[in-house]
């Protein structure tokens, strides 16, 4: 019978760009086998060496996780949709607190929040709850920018901001809390000024620090709600575990290219992030926004959803995203909702939890040097050295493993374009008798390409351009655009 498999953006490079693939199958496992038989490069991203689905890859039949059905043996019927949902490299007001004295609103605040006050779902008491509430925002980037602006405008009385980065020109395409004049400034300073301008009636607390296992619990305990605007897996798991241990709701959002996810992880009422993704993907498997890009308006949409859920929690609304995962595709302008369930075996929120304190999240995510197996030997060359060798006429072939649309933005002279997802299938186009320099934007994808070619048995000499085309622009030719 005909089954549709929905392929997420991060994996479409392995399906020739296809977002939907039709297969003939009677079970979920059979459908995935058909998919990976047609697109062999995809299999290692979905399955471990033991031929089991990776723990950071969830598979849904319609809106139900197969882990809560019959796993790979989950039966399919004509017209079903199988969705692959991989992880994509943020105490609230209780009824008892509501009874306590709420802060009064000044006449200026009543005028400011008048469109809230005339809504029965908010009203005077609801606006007072917003004023009494405190929210900790982790990050002031793509998600944190719209999130903070809407929470400030809504009148959330105390906003905490955690960030340690500075504003870069490449941020401005999506991080609307910052402006051109802020390039080079600390993000927390830029964000504080913007939020204070939006609403001078709120308190803004800045924490210029990297969230860590040493400071997370101390920071989080002083706020009612935590909103996760992070862009890396160690911090995402750290935020989740700290919220579970502190009993605080975690309003989650993540983005990649033109797809986003949002949920509310609240262990006291349902699933946490670990229930959805028990383990992170291996380092480098999921590209970051810096590598894969992100549509500028997407974090605005997902960040606004996070702000909406935060406000609903404060107001005591019944229908938050607890136990629901909202998927959004900005390119197709489609929303989809999937059910989440608390995992009784979850190590942090399950019935017999084993995680009682915060751990080393870099190590947990495989980023600790002491935890890593010895990586394959990687020979690198600097951009300056490559230029000297090309100028003296050395017999070198340069392979660009970026995507075609990146090649149009900027390129090195005389290079051959073979995108990373095609490099093994097209390795016959690379002359093993010549020294080969592999490059991408920053050196990460080209290193992956070298590893993939070596595993496929390519016999030639492969060298990675350290820093990629960005280093070439910095060290050799400033006329080559940086993106």
HEC assignment per residue over 102-151: CCCCCHHHHHHCHHHHCCCCCHHHHHHHHHHCEEEEECCCCCHHHHHHHH
- Point out the domain boundary residue: 336, 364, 392: 364
* β-pair type (81-86, 462-465): unpaired
Task: Tell whether the model's pLDDT for residue 367 goes beyond 70.
Answer: no
Residue 75 sits in a domain whose CATH number is 3.10.20.30
Residues 257 and 213 in one domain: yes
What is the C-alpha to C-alpha distance for residues 410 and 417, in angstroms, rounded to an integer? 12
Least confidently predicted of 43-47, 237-241, 412-416, 476-480: 43-47
- Rounded to an integer, the average pLDDT of 366-376 is 51
Mean pLDDT across 344-361: 92
What local confidence, expressed as pLDDT, does residue 19 receive? 82
Is pLDDT at 398 greater than 50 in this prediction?
A: yes
Q: What is the pLDDT of residue 227?
A: 97
Do 159 and 192 have their domain in common? yes
Number of folded domains that form the chain: 3
Of the given ranges (14-18, 162-166, 179-183, 416-420), which has the lowest mean pLDDT?
14-18
Same domain, 337 and 392: no
Can you read off the two tokens belonging to residue 122? 């908010």
d(CA 119, CA 126): 10
362-385 average pLDDT score: 72
- Asked if residues 162 and 136 have their Cβ atoms less than 8 Å apart, the reply is yes
State the DSSP H helix or E strand holding residue 362, giving kind and residue range, or none if neither: helix 361-364
Residue 137 and residue 192 in one domain = yes
CATH number at residue 419: 3.40.250.10
Lowest mean pLDDT among 52-61, 131-140, 308-317, 444-453: 52-61
Tell me which of 27, 53, 86 is where a domain ends: 86
Q: What is the tens place of the pLDDT at every residue in 291-301? A: 678 899 999 99
Q: Do 251 and 313 meet the contact criterion of CB atoms below 8 Å apart?
A: yes
pLDDT tens digit string along 447-467? 999 999 999 999 999 999 999
What secondary structure does DSSP assign to 399-427, as a single string?
EE-S-HHHHHH---TT-EE--GGGTTTTG
Same domain, 195 and 316: yes
Task: Please state the rounded mean pLDDT for residues 102-111.
Answer: 95
Q: Which of 364, 399, 426 is the last residue of a domain?
A: 364
Is the residue at 252 inside a domain? yes
- Structure confidence at residue 130 as a pLDDT band (50, 70, 90): very high
Q: Distance between CA 324 and CA 319 in Å, rounded?
A: 10
In this prediction, residue 339 carries a pLDDT of: 94
Name the β-bridge partners of 325.
Answer: 338
Q: 26 CB contacts (<8 Å, ≥6 apart)?
A: 1, 75, 76
Residue 5 has pLDDT above 50, yes or no: yes
Instruction: Indicate the Cα dihedral angle 139, 186, 300, 142, nearest 10°.
Output: -60
With contact defined as beta carbons under 8 Å apart, do 14 and 39 qualify? yes
Q: Is 464 exposed, middle or buried (0-12, 13-18, 19+ CB in 10 A)?
A: buried
Q: Is the pLDDT assigned to residue 434 strictly greater than 50?
A: yes
For residues 429 and 301, membership in a common domain is answered with no
> Is 103 inside a domain boundary?
no
The rounded mean pLDDT for the chain is: 90
pLDDT band at 289 (very low <50, low <70, confident <90, very high): low
94 in a domain, yes or no?
no
Q: How many CB atoms lie within 10 A of CB 391?
A: 8
- Token representation of residue 433: 């008798």
Is residue 104 assigned to a domain? no
Whether 440 is catalytic is: yes
Domain assignment of residue 27, given as a range: 2-86
Q: Is residue 339 part of a domain?
A: yes
Record the pTM: 0.72
Q: Are 362 and 378 in contact (CB under 8 A)?
A: no
Same domain as 254, residue 209: yes
The confidence band for 96, taking pLDDT boundaries of 50, 70 and 90, is very low
- Confidence (pLDDT) at 41: 80
Q: Residue 369: how many CB atoms within 10 A of its CB? A: 7
Asked if residue 465 is part of any domain, the answer here is: yes
Q: Look at 9-13, 77-81, 236-240, 416-420 and tell me which has the smallest mean pLDDT.
A: 9-13
Asked if the structure places residue 482 within a domain, the reply is no
| Domain CATH code at residue 281 | 3.40.50.720
Q: Which of 272, 289, 349, 365 is catalytic?
A: 289
User: Residue 286: is its pLDDT beyond 80?
Assistant: no
Tell me the pairing of strands 64-65 and 57-61: antiparallel
What was the pLDDT predicted at 360?
A: 87
The Cα 50–Cα 278 span in angstroms is 17
pLDDT-derived band at 91 (thresholds 50, 70, 90) equals: very low
34-71 residue pLDDT tens = 999 888 888 888 887 778 888 778 899 988 899 888 88
Query: 139 and 51: one domain?
Result: no
Determine the Cα–Cα distance for residues 258 and 329; give it in Å rounded to an integer. 6
Alpha carbons 154 and 129: distance in angstroms, whole number: 11
Task: Give the whole-angstrom CA distance, residue 363 versus residue 371.
Answer: 6
Instruction: Report the pLDDT value the prediction gives residue 40, as an integer from 0 to 100.
Output: 82
Domain membership flag for residue 128? no
Q: Are residues 205 and 326 in the same domain?
A: yes
Mean pLDDT on 331-355: 94
Q: Which of 155-159, 291-295, 318-322 has the lowest mean pLDDT?
A: 291-295
| Confidence (pLDDT) at 368 | 58
Residues 196 and 325 in one domain: yes
243 is catalytic: no
Are 339 and 446 in the same domain? no
* Sequence-separated contacts (24+) of 450-453 with Cβ below 8 Å: 450/376, 450/378, 451/376, 452/420, 452/423, 452/424, 453/423, 453/424, 453/427
Q: Cα dist. 287→100, 283, 284, 293, 426 in Å?
A: 47, 9, 6, 9, 22
* Whether residue 459 sits in one domain with residue 316: no
């Amino acid at each position: 019978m005909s089954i549709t498999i929905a392929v997420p953006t991060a994996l479409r490079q392995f399906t020739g760009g296809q977002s939907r693939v039709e297969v003939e199958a009677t079970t979920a496992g059979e459908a995935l086998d058909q998919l990976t038989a047609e697109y062999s490069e995809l299999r290692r991203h979905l399955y471990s060496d033991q031929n089991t689905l990776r723990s950071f890859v969830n598979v849904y039949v319609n809106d139900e996780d197969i882990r809560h059905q019959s796993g790979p043996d989950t039966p399919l019927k004509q017209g079903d949709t199988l969705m692959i949902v991989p992880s994509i490299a943020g105490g609230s007001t209780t009824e008892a607190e509501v009874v306590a004295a709420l802060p009064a609103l000044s006449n200026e605040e009543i005028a400011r929040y008048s469109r809230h006050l005339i809504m029965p779902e908010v009203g005077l008491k609801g606006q007072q709850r917003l004023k009494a509430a405190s929210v900790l925002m982790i990050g002031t980037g793509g998600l944190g920018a719209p999130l903070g602006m809407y929470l400030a405008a809504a009148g959330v009385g105390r906003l905490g901001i955690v960030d340690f980065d500075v504003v870069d020109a490449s941020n401005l395409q999506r991080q609307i809390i910052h402006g051109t004049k802020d390039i080079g400034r600390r993000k927390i300073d830029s964000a504080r000024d913007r939020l204070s301008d939006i609403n001078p009636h709120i308190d803004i607390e800045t924490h210029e620090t990297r969230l860590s296992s040493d400071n997370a619990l101390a920071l989080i305990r002083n706020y009612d709600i935590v909103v996760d605007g992070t862009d890396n897996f160690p911090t995402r798991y750290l935020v989740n575990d700290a919220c579970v241990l502190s009993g605080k709701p975690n309003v989650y959002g993540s983005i990649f290219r033109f797809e986003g996810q949002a949920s509310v992880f609240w262990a006291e009422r349902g699933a946490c992030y670990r229930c959805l993704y028990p383990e992170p993907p291996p380092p480098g498997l999921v590209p970051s926004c810096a590598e894969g890009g992100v549509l500028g308006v997407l974090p605005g949409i997902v960040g606004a959803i996070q702000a909406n859920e935060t406000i609903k929690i404060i107001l005591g609304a019944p229908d938050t995203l607890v136990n629901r995962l909202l998927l959004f595709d900005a390119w197709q302008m489609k929303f989809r909702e999937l059910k989440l369930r608390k995992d009784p075996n979850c190590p942090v929120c399950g019935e017999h939890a084993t995680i009682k304190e915060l751990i080393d999240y870099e190590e947990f995510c495989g980023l600790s040097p002491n935890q890593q197996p010895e990586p394959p030997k990687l020979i690198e060359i600097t951009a300056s050295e490559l230029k000297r060798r090309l100028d003296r006429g050395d017999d070198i072939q340069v392979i660009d493993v970026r995507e075609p649309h990146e090649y149009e933005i900027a390129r090195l002279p005389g290079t051959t374009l073979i995108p990373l997802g095609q490099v093994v299938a097209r390795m016959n186009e690379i002359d093993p008798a010549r020294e080969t320099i592999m490059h991408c934007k920053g050196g990460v994808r080209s290193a992956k390409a070298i590893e993939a070619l070596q595993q496929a048995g390519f016999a030639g000499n492969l060298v990675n351009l350290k820093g990629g085309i960005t280093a070439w622009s910095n060290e050799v030719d400033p006329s080559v655009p940086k993106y």
